[in-house]
Amino acid sequence: MKTSAVKCHELKRSRLFLFLCAIFVIVNLIIFQSFNLRYTIYLQQNSSRPRVTKFGEKIWNNKTERKILLWTTFFLEKKWVRILQEHFQRYGCDCNITGNRDDIQTADAVIFHALDLWFWEKLPTYRSKEQIWILFVAESPPHIHYTGMTWKFPPYIFNWTMSYRSDSTVYAPYGRFRVKKSPGIGTIDFAKTKSKMTASLISNCYDDAKRYVHLKELAKYTKVDFYGRCGDKICPRSSECDEILKTYRFKITFENSNCRDYITEKFWNALYSNSIPLVNWKKDQRLPFAPPRSYINIFDFRSMRDVADYLNFLSTNDTEYNSFFQWRRDYEIEGGDVIWHMFCKLCRKLKVNPLDAQVVDYLSWMQNDTCQTWSVSIFLQTSSYLKHRSHLQRPISLTYIMSDMRMDIDPVVWALQQRSIYPNDIYTRHRS
Ligand SMILES: *[C@@H]1O[C@H](CO)[C@@H](O)[C@H](O)[C@H]1NC(C)=O
Ligand SMILES: *[C@@H]1O[C@H](CO)[C@@H](O)[C@H](O)[C@H]1NC(C)=O
Ligand SMILES: *[C@@H]1O[C@H](CO)[C@@H](O)[C@H](O)[C@H]1NC(C)=O
Ligand SMILES: *[C@@H]1O[C@H](CO)[C@@H](O)[C@H](O)[C@H]1NC(C)=O
Ligand SMILES: *[C@@H]1O[C@H](CO)[C@@H](O)[C@H](O)[C@H]1NC(C)=O
Ligand SMILES: *[C@@H]1O[C@H](CO)[C@@H](O)[C@H](O)[C@H]1NC(C)=O
């Protein structure tokens, strides 16, 4: 008697639980879908507002030193302050780095990392005339939006942008090709060291770029070993993994979004390990310069089958395979630390005296992207989710719903309005 009563009770409880779960899932899907749709619409708008507004004024900074204040964390980490300080010391970059918000009154530049600019974050309440506020962007727009940043912060607060996009004020790519001082001689047989075909190491199987869809198609016609969260092979998290990956002829370096110039460290890491990177670059997703035959773009082919045929051909013809390494005679790559090097570049740029006073409209700048997002139907997304048992991306937040309301402000007028927020009377000069 007693046990069956308990069972019945449990059954009722589990039914209620299932019911609540179902409600939760449905509500989530609706919200997720509508956000995704709005987001897509938002990105595809053409903004007619100028991206950079110059005030026609020269700003002098006659101090001998420059101090850079990192206002936010970097992917929630505070330690980028120490990393940058050490980097600056090692490479003799002549600016001071600080993470102490109390230094705001003496800082010459203030850096805001976009992905850490959550809507609950506070901006400095002090802004001096010489101070440059910089939006630092290391991820693609689809990832920035869910912080709520575009909803909270008006479009004209930053003076400069710094990012992988080549149209940033400070261009900060994840890596770059450099002409060698003296060209290398002789040719190395790179094919000789390769015993395996293609490696994929991807941790997010559901994304805007539909990486997994292309990969599965490709794997039908050529051998692809899947490592990482979406795969069945395990790569130990150490140098051992590097050794394993080095034996592959090709490396999948698909980016998770197809956005303007969005090329991350994956690409450079593949070059470092002497593999040929297989990229999924679309439209304006380009490096300003890449030597011929330094990568293979799957979208240069008609189908994944054609890509596979080409890879299979290269694996049987060492001469052809090695031709993808010929650029190494004249060029070398700079990856890894490059993102930190870019802060040295920023440091040098800060020393230009005087500077032209300007603001960038970061919303308009982000809208002028060519991101291709995948917001088809909730069913597609759900089935893709179940099929690959991956983790759904966090839904993109409310941001862009509100952001349109803040758009038609004249930057100069805006700067004037800010005077009440920034007590140190710096905006009066725009009044005349
Ligand atoms: C935005 O502008 C581009 C080129 O000027 C055009 O091809 C595209 O259709 C426009 N998009 C919208 C939504 O108006
Ligand atoms: C900084 O130096 C320049 C050139 O020497 C000078 O014209 C300017 O007035 C100085 N600015 C300040 C704020 O001292
Ligand atoms: C950094 O600041 C300290 C004191 O605040 C100063 O002694 C030092 O020279 C500065 N370093 C650079 C590279 O500007
Ligand atoms: C968008 O950005 C590209 C690259 O920076 C530039 O060539 C183009 O003129 C921009 N379009 C608009 C409408 O600002
Ligand atoms: C490999 O490719 C080269 C250049 O395209 C060609 O000359 C050669 O005959 C090919 N070798 C084989 C074994 O197919
Ligand atoms: C930075 O932006 C502020 C806010 O609009 C503006 O008042 C100031 O002149 C700008 N400074 C520089 C050096 O661009």
User: Mean pLDDT over residues 145-151, rounded?
Assistant: 70
| pLDDT at residue 145 tops 90 | no
Q: How far is the CA of 206 from the centre of ligand 1 (A)?
A: 27
Q: What is the model's pLDDT at position 102?
A: 95
Q: Which atom of ligand 3 is nearest to the CA of 94?
A: 13
Q: Please indicate whether residue 368, judged by its CB atom, sits closer than 6 Å to ligand 4.
A: yes
Q: What is the model's pLDDT at position 211?
A: 83
For residue 163, the ligand closest to its alpha carbon is 4
pLDDT in tens, 405-424: 334 456 556 555 554 444 34
Higher-confidence position of 343 and 362: 343
Q: Which atom of ligand 4 is nearest to the CA of 165?
A: 5
Residue whose CA lies nearest to ligand 5 atom number 9: 317
Q: Does domain 183-333+375-428 have CATH number 3.40.50?
A: yes
Residue whose CA lies nearest to ligand 1 atom number 10: 46
Q: Which atom of ligand 6 is nearest to the CA of 427?
A: 7
Q: Which atom of ligand 1 is nearest to the CA of 45?
A: 13
Q: What is the model's pLDDT at position 177?
A: 94
pLDDT in tens, 281-336: 988 899 999 999 999 999 999 999 999 999 999 999 999 999 999 999 999 998 76
One-letter amino acid of 301: F
* CA–CA gap between residue 233 and residue 429 (Å, rounded): 62
User: Mean pLDDT over residues 339-363, rounded?
Assistant: 92
Query: Where residue 370 falls among pLDDT bands split at 50, 70, 90?
Result: confident
Q: What is the model's pLDDT at position 306?
A: 96
Q: Please indicate whether residue 313, judged by its CB atom, sits closer than 6 Å to ligand 5.
A: no
pTM of the model as a whole: 0.80
Q: How far is the CA of 360 from the centre of ligand 6 (A)?
A: 10
What are the domain boundaries of the chain? 52-176+337-367, 183-333+375-428
| pLDDT at residue 259 tops 60 | yes
User: Mean pLDDT over residues 263-267, rounded?
Assistant: 92
Q: Please indicate whether residue 167, judged by its CB atom, sits closer than 6 Å to ligand 3.
A: no
Across 42-51, 83-92, 141-150, least confident range: 42-51
> With left for phi above 0 and alpha for psi between -120 and 50, is residue 423 left, alpha or beta?
alpha
347-371 as b/e: b if 16+ CB within 10 A: bebbeeeebebbbbbbbbbbbbbeb
Higher-confidence position of 139 and 36: 139
Q: Where do we find the tokens 């040719």?
A: 187
Residues contacting 402, CB < 8 A, separation 6+? 151
One-letter amino acid of 204: N
Residue whose CA lies nearest to ligand 4 atom number 9: 368
Q: How far is the CA of 78 from the centre of ligand 3 (A)?
A: 21
* Mean of the per-residue pLDDT values of the chain: 80
pLDDT in tens, 86-101: 999 999 999 999 999 9
Ligand 2, residues at Cβ distance < 6 Å: 60, 62
Mutate to test the pocket of ligand 4, among 167, 284, 360 (most ligand atoms within 8 A of CB): 167
Mutate to test the pocket of ligand 1, among 40, 41, 46 (most ligand atoms within 8 A of CB): 46
Nearest to 142 by CA among 366, 299, 356: 366
Q: 3-class SS at 67?
A: strand
Higher-confidence position of 34 and 105: 105
Fold of 52-176+337-367: Rossmann fold (3.40.50)
154 touches 268 (CB < 8 A): no
Q: How far is the CA of 77 from the centre of ligand 6 (A)?
A: 28
Mutate to test the pocket of ligand 2, among 57, 62, 353 (most ligand atoms within 8 A of CB): 62
Q: Please indicate whether residue 65, judged by its CB atom, sits closer than 6 Å to ligand 3.
A: yes
| pLDDT at residue 139 tops 70 | yes
For residue 100, the ligand closest to its alpha carbon is 3
Q: What is the model's pLDDT at position 111?
A: 97
Query: What percent of the chain is predicted at pLDDT more than 90?
Result: 43
Q: Please indicate whether residue 119, judged by its CB atom, sits closer than 6 Å to ligand 6.
A: no
Nearest to 113 by CA among 95, 136, 84, 79: 136
Residue whose CA lies nearest to ligand 4 atom number 2: 368
Q: How far is the CA of 46 from the centre of ligand 1 (A)?
A: 6
Strand partners for 333: 177
CA 51 to chain centre: 20
